[in-house]
Amino acid sequence: MKFLRNIFDNAHAKLNKSEKTKKLFPLVDSVDTLMFTPNHTTTGGAHIRDGIDLKRTMMFVILALIPCLLFGMYNVGLQHDLANSTVEWSGVDQFLYGLMKVLPFIVVSYAAGLGVEFIFAIKNGHAVQEGYLVSGMLIPLIMPIDTPLWMVAVSVVFAVVIGKEVFGGTGMNILNVALTARAFLFFAHPTSMSGNNVWISGFKELKGSGNLVDGVSGATPLGDLASFTQDQPAYSSLNEFIDKGHSFVEAMWGLYPGSIGESSVFPIMLGAIFLLITGIASWRVMTSFFVGGLVMALIMNQFAGENAYMQLPAIHQLMYGGFLFGMVFMITDPVTAAQTSKGKYFYGFLAGFLGILIRVVNPAYPEGIMLAILIANVFAPLIDHMVISTNIKRRLKRVKTA
């Protein structure tokens, strides 16, 4: 440790020698504070402080994402194997294929995002803040695997600059950074973000070369469900859809095409349990989001009629798409969520409720969770304002009753 410490101390000493290199201080300092908790002591106020800091909080979210990441890598390989008539892989091969495909996403996401953060840190003369550590891991997990890497980079830069830095950096943003990146891609490059051709790695090439296994459409379950509302549904009835590989249990396993990290329920639940036990994520937001989605899905069931999409049982509906991933990792972002305890219930409920509504009713978007969470982000300050107003009124009332 002493050896490492000396390296940093020397680097700081060298940087401090001239005015020009002093500007680079945040660069070295960021790596230093990552390796060592700094020797800052309390000045003024409480003389002892809690052991928690933002780095640990953020790192725990990343740890919670690891099951999703590993599963995502495996599923990418599996889906490619299933679609490719020329290969016959073992589970390990599938995972390695996925690893090689997903790793570049992560590298690009962190390189682009942290690059922007470093530029702003140097420009504003503050340390690099930890917010992007989590966003940088979330963004690859909510992308379709066939998204070109340059698009990932562009959307990351957009999200960090417009979504976060213009508002003042970590802790100041209004919209969830990871979802801003996804929304940007969704509207700027819709053909790379939706449809049936982007969810399986190398799908277009396979189609072109004729190596595609017969009957593989490349569609996500939500894509198939959405086709019920169009002229040529992928399945003749909801029962056929469920019988052919979309039972409730299969929906839970999530071995179907989808964004990299979102399809399987089990790794998401592992992450959820970890976040709830460590108290990093708000259980209020999570449960109310789930309840919101469930209520809307039940309402849909009531008014389903002939619409097969709306007939899908409520719980089954919630297993698909980004609903659970959004519930655990997106809606719980404390910066963009409502901040008051009561407000968190309304906030989560609103997002879950709207998410299923947009997903089922609007045929243009087979997935509505992203948009619903972004809408809820915008409403969060309003929700807080109403909660706080009631608190202010309650305390004003004391004067009259006393």
Binding site for another protein (CB under 8 A): 1, 4-5, 33-57, 59-60, 127, 129-131, 168-172, 277-280, 282, 334-335, 337, 339-341, 344, 384, 388, 391-392, 394-395, 398-399, 402
Task: State the nearest-atom distance from the C-beta of 276 to another protein, in Å.
Answer: 9
**Type of residue numbered 167:** F
Among 56, 316, 353, 366, smallest CA distance to 186 is for 366
What DSSP line would sit under 349-385, residue for residue?
HHHHHHHHHHHHH-TT-S--HHHHHHHHHHHHHHHHH
Residue among 77 and 136 whose Cβ is closer to another protein:
136
**Least distance (Å) between residue 16 CB and another protein:** 17
CB of 301 to another protein, least distance (A): 34
Nearest-approach distance from CB 20 to another protein, in angstroms: 25
Kindly state the smallest distance separating residue 271's Cβ from another protein, in Å.
14
| Residue among 1 and 364 whose Cβ is closer to another protein | 1
Inter-residue contact 338 to 347 (CB < 8 Å)? yes
> Cβ closer to another protein: 46 or 364?
46
Closest to another protein by CB, 207 vs 342, is: 342
In the complex with another protein, which residue's Cβ is closer, 35 or 103? 35
CB 275, CB 160: distance < 8 Å = no
Q: How far apart are the first and last CA of the chain?
A: 63
| Cβ nearer to another protein, comparing 160 with 219 | 160
Least distance in angstroms from the C-beta of 206 to another protein: 43
Whole-number minimum distance, CB 280 to another protein, in Å? 6
Which residue shows structure tokens 């996403």? 105
Alpha helices in 86-202 (DSSP H): 91-124, 131-141, 149-158, 177-188, 190-193
10 Å Cβ neighbour count for 18?
9
Query: Which H or E run includes 142?
Result: none
Burial class (CB in 10 A: 0-12, 13-18, 19+), 331: buried
Sorted by sequence, the CB contacts under 8 Å of residue 102 that are 6+ apart come out as: 69, 72, 73, 76, 140, 145, 260
The torsion defined by the Cα of 302, 306, 308 and 313, in degrees rounded to 10, comes to: 20
Q: Which is nearer to another protein, 281 or 356 (CB)?
A: 281
